Amino acid sequence: MTTTAQEGDFLESTEGLIFDVKGSCHPPNRIISYVRYIPDPKGDRKRGKKSYRKIYNLEERHQFLKEKFPSYLYFDPVFQRELQGVPLESITKVYHPKEKLAELCTAHRDTLEECAVQLAQSLDIPVETMGISGSILVGLHTVDSDIDVIVYKEASCIQVYHQLQKLSEQGVVQQFDTEKAQKKAQFRWGSQNESLVTLEQKKVMHGLFKGKEYFFRFLKSEYKKYGDIQYIPLHKATLKAVIKDDTESIFTPCRYLIEDSSIESIEQLVSLRGRFCEQAQKGDSITARGTIEKVVSKTKEYYQMMLGDAGDYLLPKRSIQ
């Protein structure tokens, strides 16, 4: 079968496992995606008569597949590491955020779905340039679930980012209060350091709308052909540097150009995980831990630090004092 999928999409396997898709660069025979919901009679998520359980922790996801469905773990020759991914022949359905939002705009909606539609409609751009991902996309949300919004194409992303700033000033959306920001900082960084808490409160891409938590992912809709660039992981490292350019800090993947690095060869920090978006600004002195990668294309090669594994971090100096 021919299947296309990108960041924000979800897919379902023949066993009923539900995966969230990572990135837009996939091998020809499978989709890189990480298991998120699994059938479980004791699970707290319901869809029809079937119960599911959510797995968030990366290590737990890996262990689950290793024990139950090892065929969904594979060594990727382009990214040079073990990844999770579903072979095309094992995919029964792909869930697309754009289609879900279009469906919600005309369908009967529950309270959370209504909030999602109202939030999308408040952003002053055509809803066709957005989508709803996460638990709402696959019909496994609860009353306490958050709203995951995907925005496509660079110009629309920047426009929505500025609109969110305006909505915050108008009180339409709210920043996290201290208690919620403390929980977010603890969950993401393992600390409730006051500066980290303040950092989470200042982020534009997450907050509250009508009492519901939301998170935005901005996709530039740039596709790289699988195999055109190779990523060779070398080793774990910690570095200190200064942020030279944060222009792409709001996108997925997010990217920070750095200078004055304690590891001279590293040009940039990159991550596919939303927690690293808006994490540092131009001029910030930072400490980061991640995987040093050699990046090789047909025309050049360079080194970067990839952030995203358990224990990886990116901390501005003001948050670790």
Give me the chain's average pLDDT, please.
Answer: 94
List, for residues 89-108, the tens digit of each pLDDT value.
999 999 999 999 999 999 99
- State the burial class of residue 174 (Cβ atoms within 10 Å of its Cβ: 0-12, 13-18, 19+): middle
User: Between 3.40.50.150, 2.40.50.140, 2.60.120.260, 3.90.1200.10, what CATH number should domain 230-319 receive?
Assistant: 2.40.50.140
Please tell me the distance from the alpha carbon of residue 145 to that of residue 147, in angstroms, as a whole number: 7
Q: Give me the residue spans of the domains in the chain.
A: 10-95, 97-219, 230-319
List, for residues 8-64, the tens digit of each pLDDT value.
999 999 999 999 999 999 999 999 999 999 999 999 999 999 999 999 888 999 999
Same fold, 97-219 and 230-319: no
CA dihedral (277, 282, 284, 290) positive or negative = positive
Q: What's the mean pLDDT in 256-279?
A: 96
Q: What DSSP string describes 92-143?
A: EEEE-HHHHHHHHHHS---HHHHHHHHHHHTTSS-GGGEEEEHHHHTT---T
Give which of 270, 259, 312 is closest to 295, Cα–Cα.
Answer: 270
The confidence score (pLDDT) of residue 320 equals 54
HEC string of 183-205 equals HHHHHHHCCCCHHHHHHHHHCCC
List, for residues 130-185, the tens digit of each pLDDT value.
999 999 999 999 999 999 999 999 999 999 999 999 999 999 999 999 999 999 99
CATH class of 97-219: alpha beta
